[in-house]
Structure 1
């Protein structure tokens, strides 16, 4: 406990060495790749207004559970304190009965009454912006709800494709025109449909001042539509982000949509490797690095890929760890360490910070609990502070220096700042020698996550980590005898000694 407390006290002093690179970032301006996203399923997060609890039943996994905009507003500080700089919300549009998740849209211009009012949502966006946090809204343009009024409107009979489910997932025409899970498929090639959807998307930006859209079911919509959609939407607000969900394991297929105006993508190939590798122990981390090498080849800007361990469409990462007979808290720490320090925009699904369990949909959408152990939350706070302070962790290159059966060391360099990330995802303590060809010699590695210090010698740097632990270092000149720094350390130890003395004395009394 003493070592952890001391490490936390040292972090502000060690951050001093990252200031030159950080100043350069501030001068260049904040970019989307600098963000970290907290993903919220609105209905399952926090109930802040009981007046909109219509037919709420927290015991029914397919019913509304009461989460709303006011509940999110109440927890914005909680999210920001963990270091997140943006929130992504599931669709907020009025849904047909039972559409707690938001993807069965009944009215594209109305807010779902279970979540609050349009004014409530506007306040949420304003409150997020006050905290310098961005808001990304999930938007659905592929389909409507099962019983949409347009289906019975003679004037809109050509607004939908022929009723036929997707059967051959390798036939792209069928993927785009088929009804996804029986949901009525909109015909975006129809000029009226296209204009309606574009106008609707622009209206929400103008009306609420949101900062980005997460585009649902991208590959089920023609690329020609996305080209015009992206051009029109981005004309409304500068630096508006479009991040697409292309659920596919081929990065070449996903990257193709980048030619049609979509800025970023949810990285499913990364998820496939990360969920498998990081939910277990003694697994090589080479496949994760290989994903990055492929991403550099296929994407215009691979730093804009949204990386994640799980989401509302997958089994919870906690469940994967349990299936592997692993302690979920430790697995989550290892997983998030990689997520926050490797290239990409980290996206963390709500509840991960409390190791929320869950199997297949809808079990993976359980109600959030704010009265639980804070171990992971405290760890995320440290990771968030590092990511928001060290530009090398958001903009730096990415090089694998060492990997063996889960013990990995990575290097990231941005301008005059070098970060070294060491992750021991094995069942034993590990010692790794990084030679002077891999890192500049005669310096030292200052650990910012756990307070470790590694001094270089004539042979290089010896990094030693306990099992299932990680450290994030910055490369700096050897400190030598730093009188002010040592004086601060002495003061800390003396103060801590007095604290222990008086605590012991009070117990005796």
Structure 2
């Protein structure tokens, strides 16, 4: 594989273009439409994971739609909707069940509203220059899906012919996802039905791509076939819940930075150091292609519900690592509620509610989003800005690097430890501290004094 310039960020402006009327009378066709998602858009994008059930007291499409213009203030260019489909009641968990136990891939969950409500959400996003991708669960269905009765051959079965829930391929033991039935990708007819259902949302509802659940558990050749078929209709953005480079070759645009996320958690907890981060970056440099994109995050629905809030996992370092997700190579994610300093684990199978009250993190994400959207030095798509590690007098605790593209330059310096430090950094030049507006001159050998978890984003002049 070609070596990656350790860089990824994002560029682009969203351009509206004329759209020919569709041959459908069931929904209004706007005179103008958002231009299809492009590589240029991905360079400067922030992605937002929307948990519709928990976002508001109503838990509805309509309530979330009202706040979409506000997401634009945060620099969001892609909304990822957690599964919006009807939920199976057979073998369900909790009183409401899991979003990921789907009964019909081509309908919306009445808990959230109507199809017209969903269409209004998509149109509002597009009107605000934001793309919408759906969470697609191709590995399994709920037990109430029509395929269970009509096409049992679409599923994995045991020696007695009973459909089974998904199992760990390494051990053969159940993952304890007992509320879902495992699909059999040896069945070619099932594959075609799955692609047909994916095409529905692209062709009929004008969505812009998919975040694909446990993508590594589904054969790569299926994703390649599906992506090719979708892209015959229009350009789409494909995000894999995986860290599997072969998925990025022909099917997906972006994958999760799971390992990077875990390293951030470990550094915050004092179990790893900046040297572990450097090793992670070096490894990616050797195995990834220049146009591979990582999604960087401090939380998501799995982390929040099962492993703890960002404050439980990262403590006083939460803001520092939030900033890091914007300035390191890749695309940053905001999970519903993070912009409101959410400090609770959201229930997964029951109704819960995010308290939408602005505190410390909303203005932080707003400022970081503006920097991500507007400068080339943080480009993180397929033509990313460069990443250059800067040496310091304490490379175990101080992370310092420069990002640069087309003359734009940003330097990031952070004390990734829980103790105050005096150190020097091998960097020079005149900069503006992005957060404070102060003018900074860097010279090699000049002492710096940083409090625990203190960081600075310096914009070159």
- Aligning the two structures, in what range does the TM-score lie when normalised by the shorter sequence? 0.7 to 0.9
* TM-score, structure 1 as length reference: 0.73
Q: Is residue 96 of structure 1 aligned with residue 51 of structure 2?
A: no
Corresponding residue number in structure 2 for 1:299 = 288
Rounded Cα–Cα distance in structure 1 between residues aligned with 2:212 and 2:248: 13
Shift of 1:464: 4.3
Aligned with residue 309 of structure 1, among 292, 295, 298: 298
Whether the aligned pair in 2 keeps the contact of 1:427 and 1:468 (CA below 8 Å) is: yes
Q: Is residue 85 of structure 1 aligned with residue 77 of structure 2?
A: yes
Q: What are the equivalent positions in structure 2 for 1:115-154 lying under 5 Å apart?
A: 115-153=112-150
Rounded Cα–Cα distance in structure 2 between residues aligned with 1:410 and 1:425: 13
Whether the aligned pair in 1 keeps the contact of 2:143 and 2:180 (CA below 8 Å) is: yes
Corresponding residue number in structure 2 for 1:274 = 264
Shift of 1:452: 3.0
Aligned partner of residue 332 in structure 2, secondary structure: strand
Rounded Cα–Cα distance in structure 1 between residues aligned with 2:298 and 2:216: 22
Whether the aligned pair in 2 keeps the contact of 1:423 and 1:469 (CA below 8 Å) is: yes
Shift of 1:198: 0.7
Shift of 1:332: 2.1
Rounded Cα–Cα distance in structure 2 between residues aligned with 1:129 and 1:288: 37
* TM-score, structure 2 as length reference: 0.80
Shift of 1:170: 1.9
Corresponding residue number in structure 1 for 2:433 = 447
Find the structure with the greater CA-based Rg: 1
Aligned length: 412
Rounded Cα–Cα distance in structure 1 between residues aligned with 2:50 and 2:12: 28
CA deviation string 1:120-171 (max 9, x = no partner): 1111111111111111110112211123333223xx1312120344555426
Q: What are the equivalent positions in structure 2 for 1:270-419 lying under 5 Å apart?
A: 270-278=260-268, 280=269, 284-301=273-290, 304-315=293-304, 319=309, 321-322=311-312, 326=315, 330-359=316-345, 362=348, 366-371=352-357, 373-394=358-379, 395-401=384-390, 402=392, 404-419=395-410
Whether the aligned pair in 2 keeps the contact of 1:332 and 1:355 (CA below 8 Å) is: no
Show structure 2 runs of 5+ residues with no match: 1-8, 16-37, 90-94, 158-162
CA deviation string 1:79-133 (max 9, x = no partner): 2212222211101112224555421111111111111111211111111111111
Whether the aligned pair in 2 keeps the contact of 1:358 and 1:364 (CA below 8 Å) is: no
Quickly say closer, same or farther: Cα 1:289–1:122, change in 2 above 3 A: farther
Whether the aligned pair in 2 keeps the contact of 1:296 and 1:302 (CA below 8 Å) is: no
Q: Is residue 262 of structure 1 aligned with residue 252 of structure 2?
A: yes
Shift of 1:283: 5.6
CA deviation string 1:404-448 (max 9, x = no partner): 44322111111211110112233444444333xx54xxx312111
Whether the aligned pair in 2 keeps the contact of 1:270 and 1:291 (CA below 8 Å) is: yes
CA deviation string 1:312-371 (max 9, x = no partner): 1124686464467x4xxx432111110011111111211122332345963998421113
Aligned partner of residue 170 in structure 1, secondary structure: coil
Shift of 1:70: 0.7
Whether the aligned pair in 1 keeps the contact of 2:253 and 2:292 (CA below 8 Å) is: no
Corresponding residue number in structure 1 for 2:6 = none
User: Which structure is higher in helix share?
Assistant: 1
Shift of 1:211: 1.4
Q: Is residue 468 of structure 1 aligned with residue 453 of structure 2?
A: yes
Rounded Cα–Cα distance in structure 2 between residues aligned with 1:109 and 1:460: 62
Q: Is residue 68 of structure 1 aligned with residue 43 of structure 2?
A: no
Aligned partner of residue 182 in structure 2, secondary structure: coil
Corresponding residue number in structure 2 for 1:503 = none
Whether the aligned pair in 1 keeps the contact of 2:55 and 2:353 (CA below 8 Å) is: yes
Rounded Cα–Cα distance in structure 2 between residues aligned with 1:263 and 1:72: 26
Rounded Cα–Cα distance in structure 2 between residues aligned with 1:297 and 1:383: 29
Whether the aligned pair in 2 keeps the contact of 1:189 and 1:225 (CA below 8 Å) is: no
Corresponding residue number in structure 1 for 2:55 = 45
RMSD (CA atoms): 3.0
Show structure 1 runs of 5+ residues with no match: 1-21, 48-65, 477-509
